[in-house]
Amino acid sequence: MAAPVLDRAAGRAHDHGASTGVIKFQAPEVVFGAGSLSEAGFAARRLGAVRPFVVTDAGLTAAGWADRLIGHLREAAFDPTVWCGVTPNPKDHEIHEGYLRYLESGCDVLIALGGGSCMDAAKGIAILSSNGGTILDYAGVDRVTRAIPPMLMIPTTAGTGADVSQFCIITDTLNSVKVTIMGRALVPDISLTDPTVLTTMPDDLAAATGLDALTHGIEAYVSRAHNPLTDGHALSAVRLVFGNLSQMIDTRESSTHRDNMAQASLEAGLAFSNAILGATHAMSHQVGGLLDLPHGVVNGVLLPHVIRFNAAGGAERFVPLAGMAGLCGGVPADEVGDLLADEVRGVADRLGVPKGLAELGVHETDIPTLATNAMADACLSTNPRDVTTDDLADLFRAAL
């Protein structure tokens, strides 16, 4: 029997294939385009803000983007509170600290300016502000039962998709694992993407987040929960990443490649938020939680191995993905998995991604724990091929 598929509207599971023909597609209001950061004050006002709470990080503050956002908010007559206590792979204790600062400030609308870490932190603060407890209480699906404050997300990387997704990923520091919090309550109210913000993104971050977007697109397209609405966004995202990621890093002055990668991130986010993901993310979350590593880099190492594994169980869905990667038509279905995996690995090589997990600090002795923890990750439920703990262990070893 196939693994259960999450019903994102009701938080239930249903068997793959038992479709009612009804599609539920969750998405925020989207504001997109060069210069759109200046719209932040108007967006906050549409959400009923009186005193916005801005979640950002030290890097964006140093780059000047936080000051620019604050300026736009002040132009709209707001006096925002700014909290910069987020680190990559946001930690449970950081969410608690941000939540306390939010309470002290008397703020209402949450505005995240940053990559996935800032946006996930803002979501975590929003959860605690109305639901109480600790952030780890909400690991799983649809455990957030009370309405959370309005959220405006402003991504500064091209890949995480957190600005449009129903996911929040937090590191459990006691157990060194990442927990997945998922539910329609976490879909932000407004996503505001200004591609010009990408001009100050370091090359290694651009590479990591771009590979994350690629993984989102591929896993969403082959997910058990895919549908015609997610398929179009997923394929478009994959095409845009293959055609623009390396070029954006090499030629930052090209607004075309920046715009295209910003769009890829947005579309991949819309796809995976509604179709969910697969084994690559279930595994990557565990490695990232154990070693506090860049999520997209781990995806770049794992994705080719997972593609081969999933394609061996049914390759038809990978054929259109190969076309988006620029592979020649007429590729036999029984070869497409290997060819697409090689193409993904080629992109990773050009971006300087390590060949294996061992270079990132993973040891053979870590694999049993990583595989066991990955089995409990919500992303695994929509992987296109049934997976056992032994399968995951074999995949970790192959990627070592």
As a dihedral over the C-alpha atoms of residue 270, residue 272, residue 274, residue 275, rounded to 10 degrees, the angle is 140
Neighbours of 345 (CB within 10 A): 18
Q: What pLDDT score does 338 carry?
A: 96
Q: How many CA atoms within 13 Å lie on the side-chain side of 221?
A: 28
Q: What mean pLDDT is reported for the chain? A: 93
Q: Which one is predicted more confidently, 255 or 9?
A: 255
Give all domains of the chain, ordered by start, each with its CATH number.
29-198 (3.40.50.1970), 202-399 (1.20.1090.10)
As a dihedral over the C-alpha atoms of residue 252, residue 255, residue 256, residue 260, rounded to 10 degrees, the angle is 80
Q: What is the pLDDT of residues 51-67, one digit of tens each?
A: 999 999 999 999 999 99
Tell me the three state secondary structure of residue 355.
coil
Q: What pLDDT score does 331 carry?
A: 75
What gap in Å lies between CA 177 and CA 288, rounded to an integer?
A: 7
Task: Tell me how far CA of residue 115 lies from CA of 63, 88, 119, 176, in angstroms.
Answer: 14, 9, 6, 21
Q: What pLDDT score does 329 carry?
A: 72
Whether 381 and 277 have beta carbons less than 8 Å apart is answered as no
What gap in Å lies between CA 296 and CA 205, rounded to an integer?
A: 9
Residue 87: is its pLDDT beyond 60? yes
Whether 229 and 371 have beta carbons less than 8 Å apart is answered as no
Q: What is the pLDDT of residues 8-39, one digit of tens each?
A: 333 333 334 434 588 999 999 999 999 999 99
What gap in Å lies between CA 210 and CA 78, rounded to an integer?
A: 33
Residue 2: is its pLDDT beyond 60? no
Q: What pLDDT score does 334 carry?
A: 85
Q: Which residue has the tokens 């997610």?
A: 230
5 confidence band (pLDDT: 50, 70, 90): very low
Counting DSSP H helices and E strands in the chain, the numbers are 14, 11
Residue 1: is its pLDDT beyond 70? no
Q: What pLDDT score does 84 carry?
A: 96
Q: What is the pLDDT of residues 88-133, one digit of tens each?
A: 999 999 999 999 999 999 999 999 999 999 999 999 999 999 999 9
Q: What pLDDT score does 26 carry?
A: 95
Q: What pLDDT score does 14 carry?
A: 38
Residue 339: is its pLDDT beyond 90? yes
3-state secondary structure 153-221: EEECCCCCCCCCCCEEEEEECCCCEEEEEECHHHCCCEEEECHHHHHHCCHHHHHHHHHHHHHHHHHHH
Q: What pLDDT score does 8 carry?
A: 36
Q: What pLDDT score does 154 carry?
A: 98
| φ/ψ (deg, to 5) at 191 | -110, 125
Q: What pLDDT score does 55 carry?
A: 98
Q: Which one is predicted more confidently, 118 or 330?
A: 118
Q: What pLDDT score does 106 carry?
A: 96
